[in-house]
Amino acid sequence: MPRELATATCRVCEGTVHEFLDLGRQPLSDAFREPDSDAAEFFFRLAVGRCESCAMVQLTESVPREKMFHEDYPYHSSGSSVMREHFAGVARRFLETELTGPDPFIVEMGCNDGVMLGTIHQAGVRHLGFEPSGRVAELARAGGVRVRTAFFEDSTASEVRAAEGPAQVIYAANTMCHIPYPDSIFRGVDALLAPDGVFVFEDPYLGDLVTKTSFDQIYDEHFFVFSAQSVQAMAQHYGFELVDVERLPVHGGEIRYTLARAGKREPSAAVADLLAEEDARGLSEMETLRGFAASVLRVRDDLVDLLERLRKDGCSVVAYGATAKSATVTNFCDIGPELLSYVCDSTPAKQHRMTPGKHIPVVPPTAFRDPYPDYALLFAWNHAEEIMANEQEFRRSGGRWISYVPNVRVL
C-alpha cells in the first residue's frame, strides 16, 4: 500500500488533510501549447487527501484561479449533444419547480457558453451567469444570455443582490469542485439567495471515482471531490443544510446536491439513503482511499505495458478526446508522442496544438479517419457511447478502442 504522504489544512473546516495519492508533477490541464512555443510551462504537485474532521477529499496544493480560467479557456459545455440535452433538462426542471413565482431570478456560477441559461433566456425568465473566461462568456452573450465576466464570490454576489434582488436559484455545474475558497462562495450565496431559495450544484462523485478507479477526474481544476458526507458537513459549517441528492450519469458519474438555509426545507429520503450507503461501504475511510490509490498504480502500470507492447508490435496507436483529465493520465503515466501519435479532438481551440506537459499533437477528427489507426485510447471515456456512435467506421475498418476505466482493456 502507498505510504501516508504529507498533510495540509482543510479548505472547509481547517482540519488536517492526510494525503493518500500523489500523482506527481502536473501541468495546467487545459494549457494546450502552440507547436512552436518556447514559453515555460507551469507545473505543480498534484496530490489528493482527506480531511480527518469533515471527510472532504481535496487537493493539497491549489493553482491560482487566473491561470486556469482565463481569456483562452478552451472548454465549451455545449460541445457534446449529451451535455446539451442534460442542461436543457436542468433548465426545464427549474422552470417547472423553483422559478414559478412572480419575476423569478436564477444565477449560475461558471455558466460557460450559456448552454443551460439559454433555455432560461428563451423562457423569458430573469437570469445572470458568472463566467470569468472571456471568450466563452462572449459565446453565451451571443446567444442572448446575460453574463457577468467575473468570478462568483462574496463581493460580486453582494453587488448583484443590491442591483437585482434575491435569487430563487443559484446553480453551478462542474464549478463548485473547482473552487478552493468555499468560505467566500457561501458568503456570496448567503448574500444573494432568497430566504426560501436553493443552492444547487452538480460535480463528480467520490463514490464513482473510487468504483471506477477514474483517477483522471483528479486534476488542477478539480480541487474537491465531493461525497454526500462531506457536502453535508460543508453545508452545516456555513449555515446551510443538504436537503436533496440525485445521481447523474454525466461526466463519469456525478451527484446533484441541493442546499437550503438551515431549517427551511425538509431533507428528502434520498439524503439519508446516500449517507447510509456511503457509511456502509466506508467510502470516506482512509483504508478505502488507500485501496483506490493502489488501484491507480495498477492501472498506470497496465496501461503503459499495453501501449509499449503495441508499439513493439508495430501497431499505430492514437488517443481520442483531448480532455482536461487526460493531462493527468499522460503526465502521471509518462505517456508521450512515442506511445500515442496524436490525440483527436473536435474542439477547434485545441486543434493543431500540443497537449499539456507531454506535447502530443492534437488533430481534428478528419485526421483520425485518414487513415484509421489500429488502436485508439479513449481519453473521453465519459462520452464513449456518443463517440463510438459517431465513429462506427473505425470499428468496421478493424480498429479497436482501448479503455482504462475501471481497468485497462481492449474493447
Span 218-229, average pLDDT: 96
Q: Extract the C-alpha cell encoding 245.
A: 441528492
CA distance 190 to 202: 19
- Cβ-count burial 1-38 (b if 16+ within 10 Å, e if not): ebeebeebebbbbebebbbbbbbeebbbbbbbbeeeee
DSSP assignment letter at 100: -
Of these ranges, 33-37, 132-136, 340-344, the one predicted with the greatest mean pLDDT is 340-344
User: Could you tell me the pLDDT band of residue 202, with boundaries at 50, 70 and 90?
Assistant: very high
pLDDT at 4 exceeding the cut of 80:
no
Residue pLDDT, tens place only, 333-372 = 999 999 999 999 988 889 999 999 999 999 999 999 989 9
Residue 260's pLDDT is what?
98
Residue 77's pLDDT is what?
67
Residue type, 205: Y
Residue 133's pLDDT is what?
84
DSSP assignment letter at 68: H
User: Would you tell me how many other CB atoms lie within 10 Å of the CB of residue 238?
Assistant: 16
Span 149-153, average pLDDT: 94
Residue 89's pLDDT is what?
96
Residue tagged 466563452 (cell numbers) = 136
CA angle 388, 394, 395 (to 5 degrees): 75
Residue 330's pLDDT is what?
98
Average pLDDT, the chain: 94
User: Could you tell me the pLDDT band of residue 19, with boundaries at 50, 70 and 90?
Assistant: very high
Span 182-201, average pLDDT: 98
Residue pLDDT, tens place only, 100-129 = 999 999 999 999 999 999 999 999 999 999
CA distance 118 to 319: 32
User: Could you tell me the pLDDT band of residue 190, with boundaries at 50, 70 and 90?
Assistant: very high
Q: Is 134 left (phi over 0), alpha (psi -120 to 50) or beta?
A: alpha
Residue pLDDT, tens place only, 231-268 = 999 999 999 999 999 999 887 789 999 999 999 999 99
CA distance 89 to 46: 34
Residue 64's pLDDT is what?
84
Map out the domains of the chain with their CATH numbers: 7-57 (no CATH), 77-287 (3.40.50.150), 314-410 (3.40.50.720)
User: Could you tell me the pLDDT band of residue 2, with boundaries at 50, 70 and 90?
Assistant: very low
Residue pLDDT, tens place only, 44-96 = 999 999 999 999 999 999 998 777 765 565 556 676 788 899 999 999 999 99
Residue 1's pLDDT is what?
41
CB distance 355 to 326 below 8 Å: yes
End-to-end CA distance of the chain: 30
CA distance 30 to 372: 26
CA distance 169 to 64: 28
In 141-299, at which residue ranges do the beta strands (DSSP E only) sit?
A: 147-148, 167-173, 193-204, 224-225, 240-248, 254-261
The alpha carbon of residue 173 and the mean position of all alpha carbons in its chain are separated, in whole angstroms, by 8
Please report the DSSP string for 344-401 in residue order.
Answer: E-S-TTTTTSB-TTT--BEE-HHHHTTT--SEEEETTGGGHHHHHHHTHHHHHTT-EE
Span 160-177, average pLDDT: 97
Residue 76's pLDDT is what?
63
CB distance 343 to 336 below 8 Å: no
Span 178-183, average pLDDT: 95
CB distance 401 to 376 below 8 Å: yes
Residue 271's pLDDT is what?
98
Task: Indicate the pairing of strand 105-109 with strand 57-59.
Answer: unpaired
